Amino acid sequence: MESNTIKNRYDFVFLFDIKDGNPNGDPDQANLPRVDAENQEGLITDVCIKRKVRNYVQLKHKLNKPNDIFIRQGNVLAPIIDNTPGNNIQDRQLNLCNDYFDIRSFGAVLSVGDKGAGTVRGPVQFTFSRSEDRIYQAEHSITRCAVTTEKEAKSQEKRENASTFGRKSTVPYALYRMHGFISAVDALKSGFSDEDLELLWEALLNAFEHDRAAARGEMNPRKLIVFKHNNHLGSARSGELFDKVQIAKTAELPRTWGDYSVTIDKSVPAGVELIEML
């Protein structure tokens, strides 16, 4: 495993936007777009973006090992862990990491079932994505001319052009910023390889293309700025590197990607390479 794992630490900034959609509804707030309650900046959870990465890998590799997906709809996890070969926790953990891309990348709690396989700490970590400006949680009334039950049909018999009403929530426009970290130290434990890294970049840049839905409007990747360190521990603090990417709006009320200006300070510390992937 050691010979195939990444040898460098990485930090990255991922910028993406949405127009007329709900990128991550909050079930505690009637599925309104998530916001910071104090300043109304938009939020998207790390697990939301991880889900899109998983979905892309699943579509590309069709659940074939070594790029199967462990956390996915319909999977019953305990029997998978119990049926994984291995005489001890370490052996089962190693085999699960070998078979599943998302365990190698994001880690997983595997201490379920009769046998269990402990916990894997993933080398790839995402922050919450946060919008550059306050967002407006727009709510729209929508109608449906069909009904779902006979009872509902009878209640509308005397009404012409009867419809069922519903609600839809959107963000008119928002630019989101996410930070990511990739640890070569944790990669050594999970087996996260250079091939896995290339697949991760590919998934981030293409995940929105295969996640279209009426609720999500237009979501597009805009910038992926990667800081590659020349060693496994890193040559600079991540916060120092993230500050190299500055965003300023060029319109009072941004409604397009063109209403923002992104400046990248390329004078990075020694031992760090700046790579603009998009």
**Angstrom distances, CA of residue 111 to CA of 38, 82, 93, 97, 189:** 37, 10, 10, 14, 17
Question: What's the pLDDT tens digit per position in 123-143?
Answer: 999 999 999 999 998 888 887
Q: Kindly report, residue by residue over 232-273, the tens digit of the pLDDT.
A: 999 999 999 999 999 999 999 999 999 999 999 999 999 999
Q: Can you give the pLDDT at residue 139?
A: 83
**Mean pLDDT for the stretch of residues 200-213:** 94
**Contacts by residues 197-206 (CB-CB < 8 Å, ≥ 24 positions apart):** 197/6, 197/10, 199/57, 199/60, 199/67, 199/101, 200/53, 200/105, 200/124, 201/226, 201/277, 202/56, 203/52, 203/53, 203/56, 203/57, 204/14, 204/49, 204/53, 205/277, 205/278, 206/56
C-alpha to C-alpha distance for 273 and 185, rounded to whole angstroms: 19
The rounded distance, in Å, linking the Cα atoms of 188 and 227 is 19
Range name among 26-30, 44-48, 58-62, 227-231 with the lowest pLDDT average = 26-30
149 — pLDDT class (breaks 50, 70, 90):
confident
CB 240 within 8 A of CB 255: no
Burial class (CB in 10 A: 0-12, 13-18, 19+), 41: middle
The mean pLDDT value for 13-42 works out to 95
**pLDDT tens-digit series, residues 42-71:** 999 999 999 999 999 999 999 999 999 999
- What tens digit of pLDDT does each residue of 152-185 get? 777 776 666 666 777 888 999 999 999 999 999 9
- High-pLDDT (> 70) share of the chain, %: 96
Half-sphere exposure of 92 (CA within 13 A, CB side): 24
Backbone phi, then psi, for 134, in 5-degree steps? -60, 145
pLDDT reported for residue 158: 65
